[in-house]
Structure 1
Amino acid sequence: MSATDGAADGLSDPELAASLGDFESRHAEVNGVRLHYVAGGAGEPLVLVPGWPETWWEYRKVMPALAERYRVIAVDLRGMGGSSKPAGGFDKKTMAADIRALARRLGHERINIAGHGIGSMVAFAHAANHPEATRRLALLNTTHIDESYYDFRIMPPPDEPPPHRWWLAFNIVPDFPVKLLAGRYRLMIDYMFGLSLTDPRAVTDRDREVYARAYDSPEAIRACQGWFQAYQKDIADFASYGRLTVPVLGLAYGPFYEYMSKVLPQQAEDVRVVEVANTRNYLVEEQPQAVVDAFVDFFG
C-alpha cells in the first residue's frame, strides 16, 4: 500500500494534508508528468521541494507556520510519493522544469523556492535555468552536485569521519536495489534516519511508515534510483551554469555549514549562510522553528 492509496488509516496524502489544517492534496499534469502537491496559505508563493528518502511530508512541521505568510506549495518530485513514476527525465534540470511548469499552471510566474537533498539540487537548477521565475532560493544542507562527487571513496581510510555515502553507488546499480528493498523499504528509511538524526523522536514511527509506503513498490524504487542515475548528467549541467543572480540562503549544520560557507559564494552573487545547531541532515524535522525563522527572515 502507498501513502497515496487513500485508505482511511490517516496515512493517505489527503488525510495527511488535512491533518495540518487548511491544506489540500492535489495533482497537476505538467511537463509530461503528473505531479502531486499539497498547498495552503496565502501570500507570495513558496515552493518546498523534499529530499530522499522522504516526500512532501518532510515539511509537515513548518508548513502551518509558513502558511501564515506565504502560499505554501510542497511538491512531490517526479518519481516521488503521489507523483507519477516515468521512465526518465530524472536529471535535475528536467525536474526543475517540472516545478516551473507547475508554478505557471497554478498562476505563479515567479516563486520563492526551497529544497533539501535531491530537492535542493532541483531548486538550484530552477534558479539557474529559470532566474526570471525565481525570486529567492534556499538550500537546506545540500548544494548542487558537482565534480567533487567523483572523489567520494568506496573504501575510506579509518581516520575519515562519517558519513560515507555508500547509498549513492548503491542507487546507481540497476535492478539490485529493487530486489533487495521492494516491500522492505522501511529498512532503508530507518537506516538513513538512524544515521542522521540527533533525536530519533523527531521522525516518529508513523512518519517513517508514511515514507516507507511511498518507496516500497518496485516502481517507486526504480524511480528514485533515477535521481541518482542522472548524476553524471547533473554534473555536466552544473558545469554549464554561471553564478546565480538570485539571492541564496544556505541552511546547514556543522561541517555542511562550513562547506556551504566556502562554496556558495563561488556559485552565487548574493549569499547568506546560516548554521542550524543540534541537528544533522534532517534539520527541517529536528529544528523546524529554526527553519521557519530563517525562511521568514530571508523570504520576507
Structure 2
Amino acid sequence: MPTDTDTAPDPVTGTTGVTGVTAGETADARLAATLDGAFSSRYAEVNGVGLHYVTGGEGTPLVLLPGWPETWWEYRKVMPALAERHQVIAVDIRGMGGSEKPRSGFTKKNMARDVHELARHLGHERINIAGHGIGAMVAFAHAANHPAATAKVAILNTTHIDDSYYDFPMVPRPGDQGPHRWWLAFQQVQDLPEQLLADGRYRHLVDYMFNLSLLNPDAITPRDRDIYARAYSAPDAIRASQGWFQAYREDIADFNAYPKVTAPMLGLAYGAFYDYMRRALPTQGTDVEVKEIKNTRNYLVEEQPEAVTEALLDFFG
C-alpha cells in the first residue's frame, strides 16, 4: 500500500530520517522550511517507487516537475506565489533528489504514471501539471497518457523528445549554432560517468550546465549549486539520472504513438527555442498557447521567476 509520511531518503546518503527539528531532519525538510508559507517535505510509495515531494498551499492541485541537473528546489522562487491559489506539489521525479533511485522504469510514460498515482494517492483525480527539461517530457507524457486526469499542462523550454534527437551531430560543423549537446551522448555511456563524476566532482558538471545557459550566473547561487551537486553526487544518483536519457529510444517510440494532447497546453521558452516551440507544440496539441520568457535561456524558472509565475498563474487560473 502507498504510504505518505514526513520521512524521506537523504539526497546524499540515501538513508532515511524523520523531518522536524531533530537530529534526523533531512536536508529537504530544512530547505522546505525556508520557503515563505507552510511547505512540508513528504514521501510516498507509488507505482513501485518512493517519491519525495514538497507541498504547500490550498486550492486546485498544481504539480511541478523539475529538470536536470536540478531538483524540486528549482521551483523555490515561484512556489510561494503559486501556493496562494493552488495546492503546490513539487516532485522529485523517479531517480532525482530525495526520491528513490531504482534501476529501471525511466521511460517518460512510466514516470508519468508515477505522477498520476501520486496525485491519486493525494486524493486528486485531476491535476494541473508543469514541467521543465526532463520534467517537461514527463508532464507531456502525463497529458498524453492520462487525459482525463490532466486539467492543463505547461511545458517549460523542452518539448518531448522526438526523432530529431537522432540527428544531433557528434561533431558540430563550423558555424553551427550552439550549444552542442554532447552531454546527451555522455549520458548513454554505461558505468564511466559514475566513476568520473562521483566523490564531489558532479559540481563541475552542474557549474558547466548553468554557466552555459544563464545570462545572470548569480540567479543560481553557489549555495543552490551545492544543493544540486550534493543531490547528484552519489553513484546511484548519477546512474539513476542517466536512466532518464538512456530511455530516450523508448520515449521516441512512445511519442510517435501518442495522439494530440487535448488538455489546454502552455509553452514557455526563450529566443530561438521559443520560435521552435511556436512551430512544434501546435502540432502536438489541440489547444496550445506559447509565450516567450525574455532575458533568459534554459533555466528560466530560476532566472526569471516573476515572469514565469505570472505566466503560470494566468494560465492555470
Percentage of pairs with the same residue: 68
| Cα deviation code 1:80-127 (max 9, x no counterpart) | 000000110000000000000000000000000000000000000000
Gaps of at least 5 residues in structure 1 are: none
Instruction: Work out whether 1:140 is the aligned partner of 2:161.
Output: no
2:64 matched residue in structure 1: 48
Cα 1:130–1:2, aligned 2, differ >3 Å: closer, same or farther? closer
The match for 1:32 is 48
SS in 2 for 1:261: helix
- TM-score with structure 1 length normalisation? 0.97
CA contact (8 A) 1:2 1:216 kept: no
| 1:253 alignment partner, one of 270, 279, 288 | 270
Aligned match of 1:180: 196
Residue 167 of structure 1 is matched in structure 2 by 183
Task: Please name the residue that 1:59 is paired with.
Answer: 75
Local SS of the residue matching 2:52? strand
User: Is 1:192 matched with 2:215?
Assistant: no
Structure 1 residue 290 corresponds to structure 2 residue 317: no
Matched, 1:74 2:90: yes
Question: In the alignment, does 2:293 pair up with 1:276?
Answer: yes
| Gap runs ≥5 in structure 2 | 1-9
Query: Structure 1, residues 214-269: CA drift from partner, whole Å, max 9, x if none?
Result: 00000000000000000000000000001111100000000110000001000000
Match of 1:121 among 137, 142, 146: 137
Given candidates 174, 177, 198, the residue that maps to 1:158 is: 174
Partner deviation per Cα, 1:40-67 (whole Å, 9 max, x = no partner): 0000000000000000000000000000
**TM-score if structure 2 supplies the norm length?**
0.92
Amino acid at match of 2:192: F
Q: Give every structure 1 segment of 4 or more consecutive aligned residues whose post-TM-superposition deviation is greater than 3 Å.
A: 1-11
* CA RMSD, 1 decimal: 1.5
Please give the secondary structure, in 1, of the residue aligned with 2:187: helix
2: distance between equivalents of 1:93 and 1:101? 12
| Secondary structure in structure 1 of the residue aligned to 2:80 | helix
Shift of 1:8: 7.1
Contact 1:124–1:139 (CA<8 Å) still a contact in 2?
Answer: yes
Q: Does structure 2 conserve the Cα–Cα contact (< 8 Å) formed by 1:46 and 1:113?
A: yes
Q: Following the alignment from structure 1 to structure 2, what is the Cα–Cα distance between the partners of residues 187 and 109?
A: 41
| Distance change in 2, residues 1:205/1:11 (3 Å) | farther
Aligned residues: 300
